[in-house]
Amino acid sequence: MAGGRPSSLDSPTLAQWLRRERQVALIDVRTAAEFQSIHIPGSVNLPLDTLEGHLDELARGLRQPVVLICRSGNRAHHAERLLAAAGIGDAQVLEGGILAWESAGGAVQRGRQRWDLERQVRFVAGAIVLASVLGSLAYEPAKWIAGAIGAGLTTAALTNSCLMGMLLSKLPYNQGARCDPAAAVSQLSAGAQPAQVG
């Protein structure tokens, strides 16, 4: 519990909460490209890889409760731990992320469609494994590349972090329109607009 509220919310609860409490900071921690593809109206994009560098400003400026959003909840839980370490304890995670919100009938704003980061990781990992297994028919040691990818995926599951995902998020494809962290922090500190609950 943070500030008397659970540390995570499901989509119907968030919809009710938005109707009841007009000032809530919705922080979407996905990449800028993912955010542009689909997001909750009124949410502010502050990608996870830039969030850590702006925790002090958020701690000073945020006065309203925070709901953290990502694709399915994993990155938002990581962001929640970062915020808690910075003294921002009134943060909840949208369980199931934008996928659950949209499935529950919540309002979304769509833009240019791109593959989300988790799908990109599955594609790249699968392609490397397939290529290394096929390559091992001609050069037997290539099978160890598939083993290394398997070890990396196992480590990612155990640590709930993904090096491949972090690297892919740096590609130009995943940047979209550049997120301006300072502007995002300023908007959050000024009080983000209430989201539409649909």
Which DSSP string corresponds to 20-43? Answer: H-S--EEEE-S-HHHHHHEE-TT-
Q: Is residue 195 in some structural domain?
A: no
Domain identity same for 109 and 127: no
pTM: 0.69
Domain identity same for 12 and 93: yes
pLDDT digits (tens, 9 = 90+) for 7-34: 889 999 999 888 876 678 899 999 888 8
- Judge contact between 176 and 32, C-beta under 8 A: yes
Domain identity same for 28 and 74: yes
- Judge contact between 29 and 165, C-beta under 8 A: no
Q: Is residue 197 in some structural domain?
A: no
pLDDT digits (tens, 9 = 90+) for 53-84: 888 888 888 878 889 999 988 889 999 999 99
Domain identity same for 31 and 108: yes
Residue 191 corresponds to which tokens in the numbers above? 């009080």
Task: Write out the residue range of the structural domain in which residue 108 sits.
Answer: 8-114+176-190
Query: Which CATH number goes with the domain that contains 27?
Result: 3.40.250.10
Domain identity same for 99 and 125: no
- Judge contact between 90 and 5, C-beta under 8 A: yes
